[in-house]
Chains A and B, each alone.
Chain A
Amino acid sequence: MSSKQLAAINGSPRGERGNTPLMLGAFLEGYEEVSGDRPEILHLAHGEPLADPVTAFAGADAVLLGFPLYTDAMPGIVKAFIEALEPRCGEDTNPELLFLVQSGFPEAVHSRAVEAYLARLAWRLGSRYVGTIIKPSGEGTRLRSPERNAQLFARLRELGRVYAGSGALDPKVLGLLASPERFPPWLSPVLRLFFRSKTANFYWDKQLREHGAFERRLARPYVPRA
């Protein structure tokens, strides 16, 4: 039905094996249900040259760029892609922009600073800013059972469907995905205890043990031993 051409770009440094492309895929499923189009996902991790994603950007009516939060911002490869778009600043044919930022932190608040950057980026490119999907606790999505991911993917499909129909991201669904924004301050002592527990650290401790590195987990290789 829709004649809008949407390009999806995956900025996960893990490429197709990351968590980000799973989330992009769910959005695109919903988008396809309404529009009949199923855009392919381009992976930035496939490396330079950045000619393909830049060409895809230039030829699209809309671009969905997703990435994981790296040191509180976009990963280096995503920044390199953004820099490759510099010659397109001020072009009046630039696509409208949607973003997806997922992080390993359990609260959405961590991704708000980069969200402000992304809105500014759209302005800089002269693109319409559609919005940013923020998903905390995104790390581990690829390891979770389909049942545990069902709600996440259903919400992303819903966003894709509504976007295909209306050209907007449903603020109610955005809010549900970005929940919790932050934890209430009274919860801090409880969280502190929880983060010290074996349950909370199981994900990391298990991998450390598998690699025979558990005893060295607190290593400080860059300071002289006291």
Chain B
Amino acid sequence: MRITILNGNPRAAEGVFRAYLAQLQRALEARGHAVSVLILREMEITPCVGCFGCWVRTPGECVVPDASTEVCRAVIRSDLTVFASPLVMGYVSAVMKRAMDKLLPLILPYFAVIRHETHHRRRYERYPALGVLLEAGVGGDQVDVQITRRLFERFAINFHASLRFVAQVGDPLEEVVDVVETACRD
């Protein structure tokens, strides 16, 4: 399976998060998955300015030809996309959120009714399953994890995907590998 991991760690320094992510990547590759990790902080991604050009000027693509096109391509071509980030002030990093804002070209401006709510219509036939990997760190706790989960559940509806797991750095690696594989399979 093709797995895209978006690494939203704002810090380059060695640390628990980086080590855990590297272990996870190795474990998944050892089981035969094609894993691509995008290190968002090293990519030039200009903030979305809300111009809607990706809907009305160059449909499906940001009008700014930055590295977000690479992110969009890696996400939509994957079977599973994992949003991996330390919790910073109770949510994924600004580095991650900036990249998420630029996923807008993957959906349509038009509305549909999903679960009796208004959501954006799909642009693509299939979308990856979604997973989240968080590091609670010093300032984060389980309330933050729950709020972040809720925000990603909402995000997943608009991206025609289901949120399959919210794992945490420090969870036994084998367990995380299992939930990732289950999420890929069905």
A interface list, Cβ under 8 A from B: 12-14, 18, 45, 68, 70-77, 79-80, 82-83, 85-86, 89, 105-107, 109-110, 113-114, 116-117, 120-121, 124, 182-183, 185, 188, 191-192, 195, 200-201, 204, 207-208, 210-211, 213, 216-223
Contacts and interface: CB of A to CB of B under 8 A. Distances in A.
B56 A207 contact: yes
Nearest 4 Cβ contacts at the A-B interface: A76-B98, A207-B56, A80-B94, A72-B154
Nearest to B72: A222
Contact of A218 (B57, B91, B105, B108): B108
Nearest to A182: B117
Contacts of B52: 207
Contacts of B69: 222
Nearest to B52: A207
B48 A220 contact: no
15 contacts: A12-B50, A13-B49, A18-B50, A71-B158, A76-B47, A76-B101, A83-B93, A85-B89, A110-B154, A182-B116, A195-B118, A200-B111, A217-B108, A221-B61, A223-B124
Nearest to A221: B60
A149 B147 CA distance: 33
Nearest to B154: A72
A80 B49 CA distance: 15
B113 A195 contact: yes
Interface in B92-145: 93-94, 97-101, 103-106, 108-113, 116-119, 121, 123-124, 139, 143-144
Contact of A73 (B55, B104, B151): B151
Contacts of A219: 59-61, 123
Given A110-B117, A211-B57, A220-B60, A76 B97 contact: yes
Given A79-B98, A86-B139, 13 more contacts: A13-B50, A72-B154, A79-B97, A85-B89, A110-B154, A113-B151, A120-B147, A124-B89, A195-B111, A195-B118, A210-B56, A218-B108, A223-B76
Nearest to B56: A207
A107 B89 contact: no
A218 B11 CA distance: 38
A79 B92 CA distance: 9
B175 to A, nearest CB: 26
Given A73-B151, A76-B94, A76-B97, A106 B118 contact: yes
Contacts of B77: 222-223
Contacts of A83: 88-89, 93-94
B26 interface: no
B56 A213 contact: yes
Nearest to B119: A105
A222 B76 contact: yes
Contacts of B47: 13, 75-77
Nearest to A117: B147
Contacts of B103: 71
B43 to A, nearest CB: 13
